[in-house]
Structure 1
Amino acid sequence: MAILFRGAETHVRSVSKAISWFMTGRVEIAGSIAGLEIITKIAWYYLHERVWAAISWGRR
């Protein structure tokens, strides 16, 4: 079931906005953003796995 939003953007516009968000004009800043994102994702994944390890629901 698709959810339609009034005034929704096209996929091309959304992708363009995502790309432009990383374009800061300075490689150092863009690199630090990318590095921070990787570290953050690893931390969230680790936390996610530890929380699910503590939940017995759905195990046999």
Structure 2
Amino acid sequence: METRVRSVTKAVLWQVIGLLGMTAVGLLVTGSVSAAGGMALMNAAIGFAMYLAYERLWQRIQWGRSAR
């Protein structure tokens, strides 16, 4: 089983990568750094919560695990 600290660390790192990508897309679409940053921050907050909940849910599901 994965610890909560590991789950949170993975989620934070994934969101940093997503934040950078979303900022770049937002900048290309809007041409505005502030609008792109706002879009990226909203996306990161929603994505972080969803990813963390998703990972924790899968930790409770035994299907597909091997008993090594």
Higher-helix-fraction structure: 2
TM-score, scaled relative to structure 2: 0.45
TM-score, scaled relative to structure 1: 0.49
